[in-house]
Amino acid sequence: MSRIYAIILCLGAFVISTDQWTKYLALEKLHFEGQSIPFLSWFSFTLVHNHGAAFGMLRTLPDSVRVGFFLLMPLAVLSILWWSMVRHYKKDQLLAPLAMGLVFGGAIGNLIDRMRFGYVIDFVDWFYPSRDGSCIPLFYYQAGTGCHWPVFNIADSAISIAVVLLAIESFRSSASEKTKAS
């Protein structure tokens, strides 16, 4: 069991430190919200102050509700994941400790921003050109630059990767249970 804790803590610490370091660099190079530095024809660094949740959802809530919600939510999510993944861990679950480490690091990385600034620093801007303004789902149109995915950061990426790992683990577990039942 101590090996699982070591994986979670080491991966979480790596995500937190990488996330905070890249946000520091973004703030050093991008001096005001909306400032952008092109990197590739489909990728740039753009500073965004995200006052909401993923994709900016819930940003219109009153500050009195939003601040408490976004400070308590990561702690609640981490508690639920801890209970469901670590306390009920099975040795054949190879991806669960990795997913927990990624979620832990991502949640704490964004929580640090919320405590320091009152919002999360996002800076990774991924997009593709669109002449007629039509975008594939989940992308939004921005005149002059094309269709953009909502701007994100390393912590968001870690949490997204964790969701994929948990889905893979879920399929592996159900396939394993079907094999054992046959």
Encode pLDDT of 81-134 as tens digits.
Answer: 777 666 666 666 778 889 989 999 999 999 999 889 989 999 999 999 988 888
pLDDT of res. 145: 82
Instruction: Classify 41 as helix, strand or coil.
Output: coil
Instruction: Classify 122 as helix, strand or coil.
Output: strand
pLDDT of res. 1: 56
The string of pLDDT tens digits covering residues 153-179 is 999 999 999 999 988 988 876 666 666
Instruction: Classify 97 as helix, strand or coil.
Output: helix
CB 165 within 8 A of CB 102: yes
CB 105 within 8 A of CB 134: no
Nearest CA to 53 out of 101, 114, 6, 104 is that of 114
Given 19, 113, 122, 125, which residue is catalytic?
Answer: 122
Rounded Cα distance between 149 and 1, Å, is 39
pLDDT of res. 102: 95
Q: Which residue has the tokens 């995915």?
A: 149
Would you kindly state where each structural domain of the chain is located, as residue ranges?
A: 2-181
Residue 53's pLDDT band, with cuts at 50, 70 and 90, is confident
Residue 122: active-site member: yes
